[in-house]
Amino acid sequence: MGLLDDLQTNILIGDGAMGTLLYSYGIDRCFEELNLSNREQILRIHQAYIEAGANVIQTNTYGANYVKLARYGLEDEVKKINEAAVQIAKEAAKDRAYILGTIGGLRTLNKNTLTIDEIKRTFREQLYALLHSDVDGLLLETYYDLEELTTVLAIARKETDKPIIAHVSLHEVGVLQDGTHVSEALKQLEALGADVVGLNCRLGPYHMLRSLEEVPLPTSAFLSVYPNASLPEYRDGRLVYETNPGYFKETALSFREQGARLIGGCCGTTPKHIAAIAEALRGLKPIVHKQVKQQKEAIVVQEPPYESDPPLHEIVRKRRSVIVELDPPKKLGIQKFLAGAKALHEVGIDSLTLADNSLATPRISNVALGTIIKEKFGIRPLIHITCRDRNLIGLQSHLMGLHTLGMNHVLAVTGDPSKIGDFPGATSVYDLSSFDLIQLIRQFNEGLSYSGKPLGQKTNFSIAAAFNPNVRHLDKAVQRLEKKIQCGAHYFISQPLYCEKQIEQVYEATKHLSAPIYIGIMPLTSARNADFLHHEVPGITLSDDIRARMAACANDPLQSAREGIAIAKSLIDAAFELFNGIYLITPFLRYEMTVELANYIYEKARAERKLSNV
Ligand SMILES: Cc1cc2nc3c(=O)[nH]c(=O)nc-3n(C[C@H](O)[C@H](O)[C@H](O)COP(=O)(O)OP(=O)(O)OC[C@H]3O[C@@H](n4cnc5c(N)ncnc54)[C@H](O)[C@@H]3O)c2cc1C
Ligand code: MET
Ligand SMILES: [Zn+2]
């Protein structure tokens, strides 16, 4: 009898964890390589699961693919490792258990870590190695990303008639990380030809049961479930799971009631857990009807709080607008910063933009300073948010905090990497790219968290994104802007430009875009400053004329500042012709320079209005 015939009438018991079991023995290396160097160990684990009652075991090949093996320099061993795994599983099974060739998912939270093409290539290689070794079926497991799983499942289905079991891993009860409901995901897998569809990993039995309650019995497939032993705990630097085989006995019965026909275990489970499941289900047949719990009614999401002021992206479409960056200080003490904020506010700028640890160097929190200047002066703060310092939890909490403080203007950037800053050893998180962060904020504006869970209220963020025109191929940078607009960016703020001609080129290359741009202008402060930007900041090129002008006032700080301002004014003249928005960057907290430049722009704007009224 084959696996699928067996499942027609019986509940089958799967095996439990391989990785966490090896880890609990103190092994902390490439688990799949053990198929070659320590086959006895893997054999013993398979045998222990079969003796515990598993009818279906999986090969030790969860991460035996090009991408994961390459981390150990084993990328050329894909075929050998997979073939050895199947041989070990066969030796253990001796026809007492079906053997599934396991292929694990690769994408976690950040889709950008691997393209679909890379996924297809690495999947195919492992798939052929397993099929070639004649497994009884395939287990595609631990897929957080539905796009990845549907892609690889379609490939596998084309290549083999053998049973395919396809498992998603849930982000939280009932939903995948992109917000898709579990029943919708399993329906898609069934439609693509999976013979068994289900869940594994990440959640323990309790949350998996809550998830399965909302899943109807598949019509042309069977249902499977491989829960983790529990939620993990971080103890003495290691992830550990509760040892609770007795509890698994009870939950196995509940899984059967939810319609599962293949029941095993994932991380933290051991042969004892499998023995408990086998004992609980001995002699029991699968259920054939199920009462499905209604999915919760969609919660009514409150509209965002009313805003009397229009957001910057609307302002800059309609009229001249100046925003100014004033960096939070690197040292404690904010007198000078506050004096600058006040002076700039008095000139009438539309917003003060506050960088997020720019150049990867710690500065006073921009939210703290934003709160103070908003309350003290009524300034509209624009908070830069990088993906470098906060993981997906931190970013979402940060956004909720900003919303709560009524700070609705944000600039979503990747962030300069830690290694260029004062703490080069610090981790650069990058759970999200700038594109993902923009999308996340847009989703917040729809009232949904990253996983699609209702936030109870829509946020009202006006989303700025960064534009770096100082690149060799401006067309590529513009393509990034187009993508950022698709992700939800409302407008752009550019890096500083130092050449009138470049401003024109930028205008020509971006005039088709639907989102307005604030053009960056930063006054030079000295010849040294000019040389540094020209020679050391990638992409920034100063014209010979500008460098010569700064060099001419080399050592005189006052004269240099005057010249820096004069140059900035001519750049402003060029930008003013073509763009409504100017973004002034205050160098080294020297706000008197940006105050003067903001005044200059407003005078030009007044003159322009007068002229148009004549
Ligand atoms: C207005 C503004 C404010 C900023 N504020 C901060 C801040 O507060 N804190 C901070 O740490 N950093 C800040 N930065 C720096 C920013 O994080 C990096 O310069 C960033 O790489 C560019 O913006 P982004 O993150 O949106 O880049 P993305 O467009 O997401 O680009 C990310 C990476 O992709 C690559 N890339 C970009 N364009 C191209 C291209 N045309 N071709 C090929 N590859 C490309 C680059 O390697 C780049 O680093 C700011 C930048 C700007 C323009
Ligand atoms: C990370 S999910 C678990 C994968 C595999 N089934 C193992 O137990 O090692
Ligand atoms: Zn797992």
**From the CB of 452, is ligand 2 less than 6 Å away?**
no
* Residue with CA at minimum distance from ligand 2 atom 6: 17
**From the CB of 477, is ligand 1 less than 6 Å away?**
yes
Give the integer Cα–Cα distance in Å for 262 and 264. Answer: 7
Give the integer Cα–Cα distance in Å for 288 and 130. Answer: 33
Rg over alpha carbons for the chain, rounded to the nearest Å, is 30
Model confidence at 240, pLDDT cuts 50, 70, 90, reads: confident
- Ligand 3 centre distance from Cα of residue 266 (Å): 4
Q: Which CATH architecture has domain 8-281?
A: Alpha-Beta Barrel (3.20)
What's the mean pLDDT in 19-26? 93
Tokens of 604: 């030009």
189 contacts 150 by C-beta, under 8 angstroms? yes
Given a cut of 60, whether residue 135 has pLDDT beyond it is: yes
Name the residue ranges covered by the structural domains of the chain.
Answer: 8-281, 320-525+580-613
- Ligand 3 centre distance from Cα of residue 108 (Å): 13
- Ligand 1 centre distance from Cα of residue 595 (Å): 26
**Ligand 1 atom at minimal distance to the Cα of residue 484:** 29
Which residue is associated with the tokens 């060099």? Answer: 551
260 contacts 224 by C-beta, under 8 angstroms? yes
Tokens of 427: 């981790």
Pocket test residue of 359, 414, 486 for ligand 1, highest count of atoms within 8 A of CB: 414
158 contacts 167 by C-beta, under 8 angstroms? no
- Ligand 3 centre distance from Cα of residue 268 (Å): 8
**Ligand 1 atom at minimal distance to the Cα of residue 414:** 25
**From the CB of 17, is ligand 2 less than 6 Å away?**
yes
Backbone φ and ψ for 567, nearest 5 degrees, come out as: -65, -45
381 contacts 354 by C-beta, under 8 angstroms? yes
User: CA nearest 392: which of 419, 418, 429?
Assistant: 429
- Ligand 1 centre distance from Cα of residue 416 (Å): 7
Model confidence at 298, pLDDT cuts 50, 70, 90, reads: low
What's the mean pLDDT in 457-475? 94
How many CA atoms lie less than 13 Å away from 266 in the CB half-sphere? Answer: 27
Please give the helix or strand (H or E) that residue 409 lies within, else none.
strand 409-413
State the pLDDT at residue 301. Answer: 67
Burial of residue 95 (number of CB atoms within 10 Å: 0-12, 13-18, 19+): exposed
Which of 220-224, 307-311, 497-501, 549-553 shows the lowest mean pLDDT across its residues? 307-311
Given a cut of 60, whether residue 299 has pLDDT beyond it is: no
255 contacts 287 by C-beta, under 8 angstroms? no
User: Which one-letter DSSP state was computed for residue 589?
Assistant: G
State the pLDDT at residue 234. Answer: 76
Give the integer Cα–Cα distance in Å for 172 and 139. Answer: 22
Pocket test residue of 141, 165, 269 for ligand 2, highest count of atoms within 8 A of CB: 141
Model confidence at 168, pLDDT cuts 50, 70, 90, reads: very high
- Ligand 2 centre distance from Cα of residue 9 (Å): 27
What's the mean pLDDT in 186-209? 97
CA distances from 236 to 23, 29, 47, 202, 612 (A): 14, 18, 30, 21, 72
Mean pLDDT, all residues of the chain:
94
* Residue with CA at minimum distance from ligand 1 atom 39: 477
Q: Is the dihedral of CA 259, 263, 269, 272 positive or negative?
A: positive
**From the CB of 466, is ligand 1 less than 6 Å away?**
yes
Cα diameter, the chain: 96
Same fold, 8-281 and 320-525+580-613: yes
Given a cut of 90, whether residue 462 has pLDDT beyond it is: yes
**Ligand 1 atom at minimal distance to the Cα of residue 520:** 1
- Among the bound ligands, the one closest to the CA of 203: 3
460 contacts 305 by C-beta, under 8 angstroms? yes
**From the CB of 85, is ligand 2 less than 6 Å away?**
no
The DSSP bridge partners found for residue 198 are 167, 224
**Ligand 1 atom at minimal distance to the Cα of residue 434:** 30
**From the CB of 19, is ligand 2 less than 6 Å away?**
yes
pLDDT digits (tens, 9 = 90+) for 413-430: 999 999 988 999 999 999
Q: Is the dihedral of CA 452, 453, 456, 459 positive or negative?
A: negative
pLDDT digits (tens, 9 = 90+) for 373-396: 999 999 999 999 999 999 999 999
User: Which one-letter DSSP state was computed for residue 173?
Assistant: T
* Residue with CA at minimum distance from ligand 2 atom 4: 62
Given a cut of 90, whether residue 569 has pLDDT beyond it is: yes
**Ligand 1 atom at minimal distance to the Cα of residue 385:** 8
User: CA nearest 374: which of 355, 354, 396?
Assistant: 354
- Ligand 3 centre distance from Cα of residue 137 (Å): 19
Which residues 6+ apart lie within 8 Å of 41 measured at CB? Answer: 22, 34
Give the integer Cα–Cα distance in Å for 284 and 277. Answer: 12
User: Which one-letter DSSP state was computed for residue 431?
Assistant: S
Give the integer Cα–Cα distance in Å for 39 and 22. Answer: 13
Given a cut of 70, whether residue 165 has pLDDT beyond it is: yes
**From the CB of 581, is ligand 1 less than 6 Å away?**
no
User: CA nearest 451: which of 175, 204, 123?
Assistant: 175
User: CA nearest 106: which of 93, 97, 115?
Assistant: 115
Which residue is associated with the tokens 């690197």? Answer: 330
pLDDT digits (tens, 9 = 90+) for 65-114: 999 999 999 999 999 999 999 999 999 999 999 999 999 999 976 666 78
Which is more confidently placed, 478 or 538?
478
* Binding site members for Zn(2+): 201, 266-267
Backbone φ and ψ for 354, nearest 5 degrees, come out as: -120, 115
User: CA nearest 493: which of 561, 438, 432?
Assistant: 438
**From the CB of 59, is ligand 2 less than 6 Å away?**
no
- CATH of region 320-525+580-613: 3.20.20.220
- Ligand 3 centre distance from Cα of residue 267 (Å): 4
Which residues 6+ apart lie within 8 Å of 105 measured at CB? Answer: 140, 141, 142, 143, 144, 145, 148, 149, 169
Model confidence at 226, pLDDT cuts 50, 70, 90, reads: very high
Which residues 6+ apart lie within 8 Å of 473 measured at CB? Answer: none
Given a cut of 70, whether residue 54 has pLDDT beyond it is: yes
Backbone φ and ψ for 454, nearest 5 degrees, come out as: -65, 140
- Among the bound ligands, the one closest to the CA of 46: 2
Give the integer Cα–Cα distance in Å for 451 and 453. Answer: 6
What's the mean pLDDT in 111-134? 92
Give the integer Cα–Cα distance in Å for 222 and 201. Answer: 18
Q: Where does residue 26 fall: left (phi above 0), alpha (psi -120 to 50 degrees), or beta otherwise?
A: left
User: Which one-letter DSSP state was computed for residue 14?
Assistant: B
Calculate ∠ Cα 536-542-547, nearest 5°. 100
Centroid of chain to Cα 190: 27
pLDDT digits (tens, 9 = 90+) for 511-531: 999 999 999 999 999 999 999
Taking the C-alpha atoms of 591, 592, 593 and 599 in order, what is their torsion angle to the nearest 10 degrees?
A: 110
Tokens of 32: 């799949």
